[in-house]
Structure 1
Amino acid sequence: MKKAAMALGLLAASIGSAWAQSSVQLYGIVDVGVRMTSNASAGSSKKLVVPGGMSQSRLGVNVSEDLGDGMKALVNLEHRLNSDNGTQAANDFWRQSWVGIQSADFGRITLGRQYNILFDIYTSTYASFKYSPYIEAYKPEIGLSMGARQDNMVKYLVEKGPLRGEIQVSAGEGNSQNKSYGGLLRYAEGEFAAGGAFLTVEDTLGKKVRGYTAGAAWTSGPLYLNASWASNKFDQGGLLGAAYTSGLLGNVFNAAANDVKKRDMYSFGATYQMTAQLNLGGHYWLAEQTHYSAALANTKSKGHYFAVVADYAFSKRTDVYLEMDYTKQNGAVRFSNNADRRAGAILGLRHRF
């Protein structure tokens, strides 16, 4: 009996030790704002409670297991939700769902639905705002990230000193429009970070959309500056044109489906931390677009976007923000109500856990 009790004790201790090497973290963001938009419909303004002014509300699970010898197993599941009414934010319940292995020597490989490398380089290297990568309710730059995520992806990341490299491949799997491949290179040392990425996505007709981006950011004390360029090129007659050119802000800067030939965006921004609690930021984006149709072959449509944000942190987890934005466009694109300019403002509250 004593030997049996000792064996059971050793087994329990070993199980406890194994469990101690694993961690499961529940995380999330709840963000709700009140937004006013001018020229929303027939020249009238609109007031809405929006499910995320600075950040889309989400609930996620991170899993990490220490495998020994500098290796870890990783899992991420992340659900996006509409915090204003509790409904699902997209058709896919899990906006991210991947599993991976990370080695201290050889990098990290992950498999599943993930952020693509255009989104990765932007948010990690030259995000529009220091305290929040972009404004969820006003994010023209994300319109050039070619969907931001891809299904059925295998992604490999390796980091050595200040250099980070990343590649992705997504299987089309028959009738999927998400066959992709691309690469990323990033340098970050001290106050300076710079990088670039390219991504190609192919549809079932063999038509391609090609995305490119490059940029840099510099931080000096309370000041953060950033600049970037991005471009999307579309094969004529492809099936992805309508999805990737549906607008930079919903129906903003739209054009007839599959008529966009090329779209470029240049952006510049700054954030300044006035106090330990107060951050001020501003950003300008310029988008230029060319067309396939003969009637618009010599037309270059343009969109001008400008936003300023004041963010006050009550704590490390809870902040209140005031955002104001202005959009003006010309050429062959208009808002859905045929207006060519629009202003907006958001007053919101956000909590991270």
Structure 2
Amino acid sequence: MIKKATLAVAVLAASTSAAWAQSSVTLYGIVDAAVRYTSNASAGTSTKQLIPGGMSQSRLGVNITEDMGGGLKALANMEHRLNSDTGTVAAADFWRQAWVGIQSSEFGQIRLGRQYNIMFDIYTSTYASFRYSPYIEAYKPEIGLSLGARQDNMVKYLAEFGPVRGEIQVSAGEGNSQNKSIGGMLRYAQGEWAFGGAYLQVTDTLGKKVKGTTIGGSYTSGPWYVNLSWAQNKFDAGGLLGAAYTSGLLGNVLNAAANDVKKRDMISVGATYQLTPQLNFGAHYWRADQTHYTPALANVKSKGDYFAGVLDYAFSKRTDAYLEVDYTKFNGAVRFSNTAAKRGGAMVGLRHRF
């Protein structure tokens, strides 16, 4: 009798679980490696190296979804970035994303944890620099204006109603964190057009603020994809985030001193053309202007011109090879860390997505 009762309870539990929840766990990733040449890389000499991510940073991630019924889903994501050339960790934070959330078919999503910020979301979803790669991992001046791209301790709300999508984020400073933030984004995508904007404010442990604003759009028609955007960062004097948010601009550039940046504006324009079903070509130009806090540079406007072109060939839906060239030129009170004002680069790489 006891055995029969135990069996009945087990069957009931299994059937109840199946009725209430349908779960899926998806393993995904990218492995990308490229041979890169860079001029004026160190003391005026060029370098040749195998880099662990040309078009995309190599990564391994897990997506988890549980359908709880009634239009509700539980969500979770963990994503690790790695160096494909050495197998080492790509950053001090082992999990570049680590968040859990809940989704309602009527009210949207709430996500809790370390995740992409709204500046990064609007760039990559609405006016990405290239059609099939939102940006070039080895050459991404536009991401330097996204205020770190991710924030810790974040609560993010996302809602999508037809062609309109909105996001709001809040990150707690939690004492020693430099990632206290608040901001929002709004985008519209319908047919061939997509456009939107975002505003994000990040506060450091001294109470100093960095304010980021961006707006732009894109147009897709047949083989063509074109995009145009503007972004601005404003830094409070004496803040601690100037150096951290400048490093995204190709290696501690566009700042005469670590926290000397007053305001930075960037205009970005580009196009991608699908030459054949397997082959596409993209080109992009970025122009950055910057003012300084240092009294001697009060009347100096520093400038950066960036250009990149990419030829990409898809062997399949998951595997592609690419050829990329880029060029950077500075004017005013800014230079590369080795004092060079000009630098060129080129790379050939292979990427696989799964």
Which TM-score tier does this pair reach, normalised by the shorter chain? over 0.9
1:180 aligns to what?
A: 181
1:236 aligns to what?
A: 237
How far 1:13 moved relative to its partner? 3.6
* AA aligned opposite 2:159: V
The 1-side partners of 2:19 and 2:36 are apart by 50
The 2-side partners of 1:252 and 1:128 are apart by 21
Asked if the contact 1:245/1:255 (under 8 Å) is kept, the reply is: no
1:11 aligns to what?
A: 13
How far 1:18 moved relative to its partner? 5.2
The 1-side partners of 2:266 and 2:135 are apart by 15
2:79 counterpart of 1:65: no
SS of equivalent residue, structure 1 residue 86: coil
Asked if the contact 1:223/1:270 (under 8 Å) is kept, the reply is: yes
1:170 aligns to what?
A: 171
How far 1:100 moved relative to its partner? 0.3
1:131 aligns to what?
A: 132
The range that moved more, 164-173 or 334-343, is 334-343
The 2-side partners of 1:11 and 1:113 are apart by 35
Q: Deviations over 1:328-347 (max 9, x none)?
A: 11100111221111110010
How far 1:39 moved relative to its partner? 1.1
SS of equivalent residue, structure 2 residue 137: coil
Asked if the contact 1:247/1:254 (under 8 Å) is kept, the reply is: no
1:76 aligns to what?
A: 77
The 2-side partners of 1:222 and 1:263 are apart by 33
The 1-side partners of 2:241 and 2:4 are apart by 68
Counterpart mapping for 1:208-219 below 5 A: 208-219=209-220
Counterpart mapping for 1:71-150 below 5 A: 71-150=72-151
Percentage of matched positions with identical amino acids: 76
Asked if the contact 1:79/1:96 (under 8 Å) is kept, the reply is: yes
The 2-side partners of 1:86 and 1:28 are apart by 14
How far 1:176 moved relative to its partner? 1.3
Asked if the contact 1:116/1:149 (under 8 Å) is kept, the reply is: yes
Unaligned segments of structure 1, at least 5 residues: none
The range that moved more, 23-32 or 238-247, is 238-247
* AA aligned opposite 1:215: G
1:299 aligns to what?
A: 300
The 2-side partners of 1:251 and 1:122 are apart by 21
The 2-side partners of 1:252 and 1:350 are apart by 28
How far 1:146 moved relative to its partner? 0.6
SS of equivalent residue, structure 1 residue 249: coil
Counterpart mapping for 1:178-327 below 5 A: 178-246=179-247, 248-327=249-328
The 2-side partners of 1:141 and 1:112 are apart by 24
1:7 to 1:207, Cα distance in 2 relative to 1, 3 A: closer
Q: Deviations over 1:144-186 (max 9, x none)?
A: 0010000000000111111111100000011211111001010
* AA aligned opposite 1:9: V
The 1-side partners of 2:265 and 2:32 are apart by 30
CA RMSD of aligned residues (A): 1.3
Q: Deviations over 1:276-326 (max 9, x none)?
A: 111110000000000011110000000000000001011110000000001
The 2-side partners of 1:318 and 1:210 are apart by 38
Following TM superposition, where does structure 1 have runs of at least 4 consecutive aligned residues deviating by more than 3 angstroms? 1-19
Unaligned segments of structure 2, at least 5 residues: none
SS of equivalent residue, structure 2 residue 68: strand
SS of equivalent residue, structure 2 residue 207: coil
* AA aligned opposite 1:116: N
The range that moved more, 26-35 or 251-260, is 251-260
How far 1:8 moved relative to its partner? 3.7
The 1-side partners of 2:67 and 2:248 are apart by 43
SS of equivalent residue, structure 1 residue 141: helix
SS of equivalent residue, structure 1 residue 88: coil
The 2-side partners of 1:172 and 1:308 are apart by 39
